[in-house]
């Protein structure tokens, strides 16, 4: 294997070891192994106790049966037929623990050892009258035997022992149970391991898909979607991811559009200033011509200043940098201050500013931003309704839980098809007309950039308000902003 292949293999192993899939299976298997072990141990111990109890009981019954019909002769022990089996062991000892007679398959040495052991059991448990039992592997056969011993009266004052032994588990049930438990647990564990890995792999596959997709998504390509149809948690994650991408795409698109529109808006006044200066510098002119050229340049400069201010305001608002206060404000106060500021501009444009009903109208809000909001509305009225006999009326009021401010004019009005777009950024109904009117409104009049109403809406909404517009072409327009009363 070449070096790069080897390191790739190492990397693959390390990524498997660090994968959630692997850890999940490991944990799951460890817990399962623990449960299986505890369960098997419980069953095994339980069954073994039952085996031992049963085997003890069998031996004691045999001992009782033997007691009736045993005869010890000089040739050995005569056992009543049918009581002992070939594998059973029967030993008689004297009081010193010597074997007097024995019966069974065990060699002589084993019998001697057993006699000693019986003596020890009696001494250890300090009991020479009761039935005692113990289990041991007998020396040569290595078979697990259960023994019982009872005292044997074989002379005045001296007592030996009768020892009866039988294989503890003659049918090998205990070892079979052990093998079944171990093998069963192992097979279960292996199946669980493989099955668990397969399941975890299947469950984690969508994560892999999401990762791959996320890798391919760049700033310029936010149109990709995962479109996962599954209804599980990962499907939900993928849908959330798609939703987030959708919002990001829309935000990027808005940003891109904003920059494009802003550049476009700035290009026109810059071109005008450039043309005007080139034209004026091309040949000598009269003082009046220079004055006119400077007036045009100043007007375009005012437009750009107002545009850049609006752009900055919106950028700050979008970035969440505009901090709005929530203090008690009287909307009528806001209106009066705005009227005072805009009165000269209205007079210059032959528009009459009229204060309608202005009762105390309390709300919680940001005074400066509210002034900007009302200013934008009144300013629009002045711009678009300019001319003798035009009136802008402003009133405030409280209806139930809401307070409102209304700015109405008897200007040209707005056609119904424009109303739904009015608050879109850079939306202007008639670009050329707006610019012309701005020109006629004089150099101090702010030119229309299509951002004024976006700012109005942002200020209203950020303080829990709603903006409504009603307009009839040829009759006039009314803007109304509603807030929650303080």
Shortest distance, CB of residue 423 to ligand ADP, whole angstroms?
Answer: 7
With a CB cutoff of 8 Å and minimum separation 6, the contacts of 160 are 92, 93, 94, 95, 100, 151, 152, 154
Nearer to ligand ADP, 138 or 376 (CB): 376
Of 299, 366, 382, 266, nearest in space to 326 by CA: 366
Shortest distance, CB of residue 434 to ligand ADP, whole angstroms?
Answer: 5
Nearer to ligand ADP, 115 or 385 (CB): 385
Shortest distance, CB of residue 328 to ligand ADP, whole angstroms?
Answer: 28
| CA–CA gap between residue 393 and residue 112 (Å, rounded) | 127
Tokens read off for 344: 């000269």
**Which spans of this chain sit near ligand ADP (rule: CB under 6 A)?**
380-381, 384-385, 409, 411-412, 414, 422, 427-429, 434, 448-454, 477
Shortest distance, CB of residue 452 to ligand ADP, whole angstroms?
Answer: 3
Nearer to ligand ADP, 104 or 450 (CB): 450
Shortest distance, CB of residue 272 to ligand ADP, whole angstroms?
Answer: 17
Of 262, 260, 342, nearest in space to 310 by CA: 262
Shortest distance, CB of residue 372 to ligand ADP, whole angstroms?
Answer: 12
Nearer to ligand ADP, 360 or 430 (CB): 430
Neighbour-count burial for 63-78, b at 16+ CB within 10 Å, e otherwise: beebeeebeeeeeebe
Nearer to ligand ADP, 56 or 265 (CB): 265
| CA–CA gap between residue 256 and residue 254 (Å, rounded) | 5
| CA–CA gap between residue 23 and residue 35 (Å, rounded) | 18
Neighbour-count burial for 17-56, b at 16+ CB within 10 Å, e otherwise: eeeebbebbeebbeebbeebeeebeeebeeebeebbeebb
Shortest distance, CB of residue 432 to ligand ADP, whole angstroms?
Answer: 11
Shortest distance, CB of residue 470 to ligand ADP, whole angstroms?
Answer: 11
Kind plus residue range of the DSSP H or E element containing 13: helix 3-17
Tokens read off for 20: 């959630």
Of 226, 258, 220, 261, nearest in space to 244 by CA: 226
Shortest distance, CB of residue 339 to ligand ADP, whole angstroms?
Answer: 16
Nearer to ligand ADP, 165 or 476 (CB): 476
Nearer to ligand ADP, 405 or 422 (CB): 422
Shortest distance, CB of residue 331 to ligand ADP, whole angstroms?
Answer: 19
Tokens read off for 202: 């299947």
Tokens read off for 87: 């594998």
Nearer to ligand ADP, 141 or 434 (CB): 434
In order, the DSSP letters of 401-456 are TEEEEEEEE-SS---HHHHTTTTSTT--S-HHHHHHHHHHH-TTSPPP-S-HHHHH
CB-CB contact of 115 with 91 (8 Å): yes
**Phi (first) and psi of residue 251, to 5 degrees:** -65, -45
Shortest distance, CB of residue 365 to ligand ADP, whole angstroms?
Answer: 21
CB-CB contact of 191 with 29 (8 Å): no
Shortest distance, CB of residue 433 to ligand ADP, whole angstroms?
Answer: 8
CB-CB contact of 376 with 334 (8 Å): no
Nearer to ligand ADP, 454 or 463 (CB): 454
Nearer to ligand ADP, 119 or 406 (CB): 406
Residues written for the chain: 486
Nearer to ligand ADP, 149 or 449 (CB): 449
Nearer to ligand ADP, 232 or 424 (CB): 424
Tokens read off for 306: 């107002």
Q: Report the Cα 85 to chain-centroid distance in Å.
A: 71
402-409 and 466-472: which strand pairing?
Answer: unpaired
């Amino acid at each position: 294997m070449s070096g790069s292949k080897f390191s790739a293999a190492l990397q693959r192993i390390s990524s498997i070891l660090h994968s959630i899939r692997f850890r999940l299976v490991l944990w799951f298997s460890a817990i399962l192994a623990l449960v299986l072990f505890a369960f098997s141990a419980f069953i095994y111990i339980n069954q073994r106790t039952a085996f031992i109890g049963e085997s003890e009981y069998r031996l004691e019954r045999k001992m009782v049966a033997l007691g009736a019909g045993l005869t010890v002769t000089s040739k050995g022990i005569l056992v009543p037929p049918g009581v002992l089996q070939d594998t059973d062991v029967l030993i008689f000892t004297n009081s010193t623990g010597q074997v007097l007679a024995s019966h069974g398959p065990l060699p002589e040495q084993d019998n001697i050892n057993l006699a000693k052991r019986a003596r020890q059991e009696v001494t250890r448990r300090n009991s020479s009258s009761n039935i005692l039992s113990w289990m041991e592997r007998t020396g040569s056969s290595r078979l697990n035997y259960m023994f019982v011993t009872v005292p044997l009266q074989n002379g005045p004052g001296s007592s030996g022992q009768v020892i009866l032994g039988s294989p503890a588990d003659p049918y090998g049930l205990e070892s079979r149970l052990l093998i079944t438990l171990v093998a069963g647990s192992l097979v279960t564990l292996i199946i669980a391991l493989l099955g668990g890995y397969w399941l975890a792999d299947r469950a984690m596959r969508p994560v892999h898909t999401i990762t791959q997709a996320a890798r391919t998504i760049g700033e310029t390509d936010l149109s990709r979607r995962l479109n996962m149809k599954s209804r599980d948690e990962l499907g939900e994650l993928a849908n959330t991811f798609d939703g987030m991408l959708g919002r990001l795409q829309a935000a990027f698109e808005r940003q891109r559009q904003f920059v494009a529109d802003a550049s476009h808006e700035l290009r026109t006044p810059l071109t005008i200033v450039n043309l005007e200066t080139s034209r004026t510098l091309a040949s000598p002119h009269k003082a009046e011509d220079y004055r006119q050229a400077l007036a045009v340049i100043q007007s375009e400069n005012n437009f750009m200043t107002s545009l850049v201010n609006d752009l900055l305001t919106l950028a700050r608002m979008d970035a969440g940098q505009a901090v709005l206060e929530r203090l008690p404000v009287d909307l009528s106060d806001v209106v009066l201050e705005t009227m005072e500021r805009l009165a000269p501009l209205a007079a210059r444009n032959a528009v009459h500013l009229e204060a309608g009903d202005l009762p105390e109208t309390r709300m919680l809000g940001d005074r400066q931003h509210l002034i900007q909001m009302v200013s934008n509305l009144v300013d629009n009225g002045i711009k678009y309704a300019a001319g003798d006999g035009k009136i802008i009326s402003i009133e405030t009021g409280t209806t139930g839980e809401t307070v409102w401010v209304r700015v109405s004019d008897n200007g040209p009005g707005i056609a119904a098809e424009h109303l739904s777009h009015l608050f879109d950024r850079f939306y202007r109904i008639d670009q050329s007309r707006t610019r012309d009117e701005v020109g006629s409104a004089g150099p101090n009049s702010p030119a229309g950039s299509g951002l004024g109403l976006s700012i109005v809406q942002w200020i209203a909404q950020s303080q829990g308000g709603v903006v409504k517009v009603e307009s009839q072409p040829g009759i006039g327009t009314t803007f109304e902003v509603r807030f929650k009363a303080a």
